[in-house]
Chains A and B, each alone.
Chain A
Amino acid sequence: MSSRENILREVLKNQPADTALPVIDISITTTHEEWIGALKIRLDILHVTVHEVGDYSAIKTILQQEAITQERTVTTIAELGDVSTYIDSIKEDAHSLEDVDLAIIPAHFGVAENGAMWVTDSLIQYWYCLSLRSNWQWL
């Protein structure tokens, strides 16, 4: 008998009687504006710089100031290709991103309660360049 069958047989024999899953009900009554405020406070605690912008040109202005101190910047946002090197994250060899100083990437959404960003492979294939960063800015 394989280990798989042995393990499953032992687990089935020893698992206790079924208990029900809870119905998770955490009502959220906070308004959108309150969440934005909460997010800013959370990011401030985490030493993350926040910029509120209306369009890409405002982002470019910030990036042009930032880029002065950065040697190599890359972005996966085509609209920012004139202020940073646009890379197609699917085609780019991950190893070539070793010396990136600033990466500008989009996120699906941010979480007000903990300041996290939700980023997927479709937005940036090689997460590892995120992991090399220690300076975060929210736009």
Chain B
Amino acid sequence: MHSKITNHADAAIDFNLDEDRVDWHDRTLWFIREKRDLASHAIPEWEQLREYASQIKNNVLSNLSQYLQEFEEKAKANGVIVHWAADAAEHNKIVHDILKKHNIDRMVKSKSMLTEECGLNEHLEANGIEVIDTDLGERIVQLAKEPPSHIVLPCIHKKKEEIGELFHQYLGTEKGASDPKYLTAAAREHLRETFLTRRAALTGVNFAIAETGEFVVSTNEGNADMGAHLADVHIACMGIEKILPKQHHLGVFLRLLARSATGQPITTYSSHFKIPQPHQEVHIVFVDNGRSVHLGKEDFRNSLKCIRCAACMNTCPVYRRSGGHSYHNAVAGPIGSILTPNFDMRANKDLPFASTLCGSCSNVCPVKIDIHDQLYKWRQVLMKEGLGPVTKNTSMKMMGWVLSKPALYDISGKAARWVLKHTPFVVSNKMNPWYKQREMPAPPEESFKEWYKKNRG
């Protein structure tokens, strides 16, 4: 099911081969979007909260170097060991070195999109370290040897029957069983043993507070807590943009995060980590991996405000019908489409075109990122760089040429209407993607110009 195709449109065609899956994927994510609406409408000051969150994040970006140093100083004073990683390779090496130092070859990991971005699991496994993802959805895609397709719901593309088959294969559940309660109980039992026997746990970081040096991890399954509290070594990895200035700012974001993500009032666990437990080592790894360069791009730096709620994915008509794997990156959907070209414009040149530019993503974003405006700006950058699709490039040039010559435009319009009327098969065929899964309207009898001359001229 997982596509290795690295072009969104082609991968979307692949996903759409299973129409039932697309319909169910679309409906499920829209259901979550509706839950988000109900939850947000129940908070009278919702728009005020979004504005506060946006302003706080703007302030963070404009003082990031100071806040990072402030956080580092406070975290060290709390007894936490702080590391700095310039890129994915350095991040992976730091984590590996910590494990080596403690002679650990098995580790539990709760959900962390940053480690997906850095390819940590693959790196550690290549070095003989077993990583067990403890978020249930992450564990499912790990067993399936697939990347997550959604940052909050990693296995949303999978049907329960497929999960049942995986569990039968790896966890020994009954063949053909697909009852979610039965499967969840089996996974819980399997993970419980894992938690009790692993000496190292890695978590992500949702928010890191400069004022206190503490960090907050939000989960629904408590898996970050179980891992971190039972392990001798806790490693927390965070992108440098995750900082908040003051502790009292946290409430703004916790009120927005889960409501935007799943429509819950708050995640089941919002765990604050500040001072290591006795006999425990806590490490924090700050990761740049292109973020500092991204910060310098005036038109695009705003996307660093993202708190990874996935509201933009759940509402996006393209994401819902093309699936997360079609974005071929750890962070998919509209936000992924504006983040990833910052890191590798050439490899992700298809993504800003994977949008209708309807603006729904910007409307639901809890930190007011101008997502659809940035998608449009990325398209302009890509076309100027000559990285736009060849067919689009050629057709736009042709269209520009025709539109600049009124007489030619009139003739072309008449010719097109004649073709559509008398020889529709010339355009209505399998070669023309516009005719896939849709019928086109009948061609007009006359152009608007002709109509205007006749009726208003």
Identify the A interface with B (CB < 8 A): 2-4, 6-8, 10-22, 24, 26, 42, 94-95, 98, 111, 113-116, 121, 125-128, 130-132
Instruction: Please list 29 pairs of residues, one from A and one from B, whose beta carbons are closer than 8 Å in the complex, sorted by A's number.
Output: A3-B90, A6-B86, A7-B84, A7-B240, A7-B292, A8-B69, A11-B292, A12-B65, A15-B61, A15-B62, A15-B63, A20-B55, A21-B55, A21-B56, A21-B59, A21-B246, A24-B252, A94-B230, A95-B230, A98-B192, A111-B266, A113-B255, A115-B265, A116-B270, A126-B229, A127-B271, A128-B195, A131-B226, A132-B222
Q: Report the Cα distance A115→B42, complex, angstroms.
A: 14
Please name all residues of chain A whose beta carbon is closer than 8 Å to the beta carbon of B293 when the two chains form the complex: 10, 14
Closest chain-B Cβ to A91's Cβ sits at a distance in Å of 11
Please name all residues of chain B whose beta carbon is closer than 8 Å to the beta carbon of A10 when the two chains form the complex: 288, 292-293, 295
Q: Report the Cα distance A20→B295, complex, angstroms.
A: 18
Closest chain-B Cβ to A92's Cβ sits at a distance in Å of 12
Identify the B interface with A (CB < 8 A): 45, 48-49, 51-52, 55-56, 58-59, 61-65, 68-69, 84-86, 90, 192, 195-196, 221-223, 225-226, 229-230, 240, 245-246, 248-249, 252, 255, 265-266, 269-271, 277, 286, 288, 292-293, 295-296, 298, 301
Q: Report the Cα distance A115→B225, complex, angstroms.
A: 19
Closest chain-A Cβ to B1's Cβ sits at a distance in Å of 30
Known: A10-B292, A11-B240. A19 touches B58 (CB 8 A): yes
Most buried by B among A14, A18, A125, A130: A14
Closest chain-A Cβ to B215's Cβ sits at a distance in Å of 15
Question: Do the beta carbons of A128 and B86 come within 8 Å of each other?
Answer: no
Known: A7-B84, A15-B62. A131 touches B288 (CB 8 A): no
Closest 7 pairs between A and B when the two form their complex, measured CB to CB: A131-B222, A14-B296, A114-B265, A10-B292, A4-B84, A114-B266, A12-B65
Please name all residues of chain A whose beta carbon is closer than 8 Å to the beta carbon of B225 when the two chains form the complex: 127-128, 130-131
Question: Do the beta carbons of A24 and B84 come within 8 Å of each other?
Answer: no
Q: Which residue of A lies closest to B287 (CB)?
A: A7
Q: Report the Cα distance A131→B223, complex, angstroms.
A: 7
Q: Which residue of B lies closest to A6 (CB)?
A: B86
How many A-B contacts if CB must be within 8 Å?
115
Contact of A128 among B56, B229, B240 (CB under 8 A): B229
Q: Which residue of B lies closest to A12 (CB)?
A: B65
Known: A3-B85, A127-B229. A24 touches B292 (CB 8 A): no
Q: Which residue of A lies closest to B86 (CB)?
A: A3
Please name all residues of chain A whose beta carbon is closer than 8 Å to the beta carbon of B226 when the two chains form the complex: 128, 131-132
Please name all residues of chain B whose beta carbon is closer than 8 Å to the beta carbon of A130 when the two chains form the complex: 222, 225
Q: Report the Cα distance A8→B252, complex, angstroms.
A: 27
Question: Do the beta carbons of B295 and A11 come within 8 Å of each other?
Answer: yes
Main secondary structure of the interface of B (DSSP, over half): helix
Please name all residues of chain A whose beta carbon is closer than 8 Å to the beta carbon of B62 when the two chains form the complex: 15-19
Question: Do the beta carbons of B45 and A26 come within 8 Å of each other?
Answer: yes
Question: Do the beta carbons of B288 and A2 come within 8 Å of each other?
Answer: no
Closest chain-A Cβ to B188's Cβ sits at a distance in Å of 8
Please name all residues of chain B whose beta carbon is closer than 8 Å to the beta carbon of A111 when the two chains form the complex: 266
Closest chain-A Cβ to B35's Cβ sits at a distance in Å of 12
Most buried by A among B221, B226, B269: B226
Question: Do the beta carbons of A94 and B229 come within 8 Å of each other?
Answer: yes
Please name all residues of chain B whose beta carbon is closer than 8 Å to the beta carbon of A128 when the two chains form the complex: 195, 222, 225-226, 229-230
Closest chain-A Cβ to B111's Cβ sits at a distance in Å of 14
Q: Report the Cα distance A114→B245, complex, angstroms.
A: 24
Known: A14-B292, A14-B295, A15-B295. A2 touches B84 (CB 8 A): yes
Closest chain-A Cβ to B350's Cβ sits at a distance in Å of 27
Q: Report the Cα distance A19→B302, complex, angstroms.
A: 13
Closest chain-A Cβ to B272's Cβ sits at a distance in Å of 8
Q: Which residue of A lies closest to B45 (CB)?
A: A26
Q: Report the Cα distance A51→B132, complex, angstroms.
A: 39
Closest chain-B Cβ to A117's Cβ sits at a distance in Å of 11
Closest chain-B Cβ to A60's Cβ sits at a distance in Å of 27
Please name all residues of chain A whose beta carbon is closer than 8 Å to the beta carbon of B51 when the two chains form the complex: 22
Closest chain-A Cβ to B68's Cβ sits at a distance in Å of 7
Question: Do the beta carbons of B230 and A26 come within 8 Å of each other?
Answer: no
Q: Report the Cα distance A19→B59, complex, angstroms.
A: 5
Q: Report the Cα distance A6→B248, complex, angstroms.
A: 30
Known: A19-B59, A20-B59. A7 touches B288 (CB 8 A): yes
Question: Do the beta carbons of A15 and B64 come within 8 Å of each other?
Answer: yes
Q: Which residue of B lies closest to A134 (CB)?
A: B188
Q: Which residue of A lies closest to B296 (CB)?
A: A14
Please name all residues of chain B whose beta carbon is closer than 8 Å to the beta carbon of A126 when the two chains form the complex: 229-230
Question: Do the beta carbons of B277 and A125 come within 8 Å of each other?
Answer: yes
Please name all residues of chain B whose beta carbon is closer than 8 Å to the beta carbon of A114 when the two chains form the complex: 255, 265-266
Q: Report the Cα distance A81→B252, complex, angstroms.
A: 39
Known: A4-B84, A116-B270. A16 touches B229 (CB 8 A): no
Known: A15-B64, A131-B225, A132-B226. A24 touches B301 (CB 8 A): no
Q: Report the Cα distance A126→B196, complex, angstroms.
A: 13
Please name all residues of chain B whose beta carbon is closer than 8 Å to the beta carbon of A7 when the two chains form the complex: 68, 84, 86, 240, 286, 288, 292
